[in-house]
Structure formats: structure tokens, C-alpha cells
Amino acid sequence: MNTILCIVLLGLSAVVNGQLSGSIAANPTNGGQDVNLMLSKSIGDAKTNVGGGLFANGNTNGGPLTTGGFLAANKDGHGLSLQHSKTPGFGSTFQQNAHVNLLDKNNHNLAANAFHSRTNLENGFKFDRVGGGLNYNHANGHGASLTASRIPQLNMNTVGLDAKANLWRSLDRQTSFDLTGGVSKNFGGPFNGQVNKNFGFGLTHNFG
């Protein structure tokens, strides 16, 4: 299915004169390779631009394929975006996101973001997720993010911290080997007190 989708996006890329890009990364938890494809078209320059596109995410071991589209506008590191995605057997999600650049100097970047999403499950249940966080990235490929979110319908709050340390990167900066990890804790709701942890190594290749 991923091969067919890639061919379709290549065809669309030729028609709309857009850019086809993506990544392939090892999944240390579930096995296989996570494949992400994106066809995008942007108007403007690096500082001020508007654009949109289509995307698809799946795993080479099979399972549902998530597809969707997005629209985005950016100016001087600040921006707004809208995204809709659908996963067979799960449901669909519509998300709005806003981000503000707080620091971009000497290879360091710090941004704040806020988001709201509405998910419609195939069983008819609907829920919202609202939240925000801080994202830090270094030019050498290191990064960390702190996120807090709430699902009002479940009275559930979640706080999570994720980090990435780059261990190796190819000369063309398209392939990287990273140490990744994260921890989150739920407060209230059906998973009150539950702590989730994940750690692993990931090899990622970007193309496009």
C-alpha cells in the first residue's frame, strides 16, 4: 500500500509542481519502518510564506495508513496551521495549531505553541484535546519538548517531556542516528496516575 501511495503522490507532484518529501525511520517499539510521505506546495520565501499539502503515514509491517491534508501560514518564525487526518478503523482528527518563535540565535531555537483538536472515533465517541508547550531545537540535531494537554470529556490532563540527542549525521544532513526518549503522566480521568515511558535509538533518512 505504501508503494502505491508513493506512486500516486509522485504523479500529483508532477501535476501541481509541488515538492515530494518524507522520511523512513526504524520503529524500535513495534518493529518495521515508519514511512512518512508529504506532497507540499509553498508560496513566498523562508521568512514569509503560505502553503498546503497532503501527507500519509504508515509502517512497513502493515496496519492502518493515516492520510490527510494541511494548510499553513508563517511569518518571521510565527505561524498558524490547520490539519485534517483520517485513520481507517480509528477515526478522524481536525487540529488547529499556532506557534510563536521566542528565540532563534547562535544555532538555538525556542518556540511556544498552542493547539486544539477534535477527534471523531468510528464508534461515534467524540473528544477535544487542548494544550500547548515549548519546543527547543539545536542546529546539531538535538531537541526537547514540554507539552501539557487536557481532554475535557474525560477530565484527563497529561504532561509530557520528550527529548532527542543526535549521535551521528551524514555529511548531506539527510540521514541521522538519534537517541530518543520521553515520559508522560496523566492526571485525572480513566488513566489517573499512569506514567508512560519510551526510550530507543532511531535511524532516519529524509528525502525530497
Domains parsed from the chain with CATH numbers? 2-207 (2.40.160.40)
Q: With 90 as the cut, is the pLDDT of residue 160 above it? A: yes
What confidence score (pLDDT) does residue 153 get? 97
**What is the mean pLDDT of the segment spanning 74-97?**
96
Q: How far, in Å, CA of 39 to CA of 12, rounded?
A: 8
Average pLDDT, the chain: 90
Residues 79-106 have a mean pLDDT of 97
Question: What is the per-residue pLDDT across 172-183, written as a single tens digit (0 to 9) for each?
Answer: 988 999 999 999
14 pLDDT tier (thresholds 50, 70, 90) = very low
Confidence of residue 11 (pLDDT cuts 50, 70, 90): low
- pLDDT, one tens digit per residue, over 125-144 is 999 999 999 999 999 999 99
Q: Which residues pair with 86 in a beta bridge?
A: 67, 92
- What Å distances lie between residue 48 and 1, 51, 76, 77, 127, CA to CA? 36, 10, 6, 8, 34
Query: What pTM was estimated for this model as a whole?
Result: 0.85
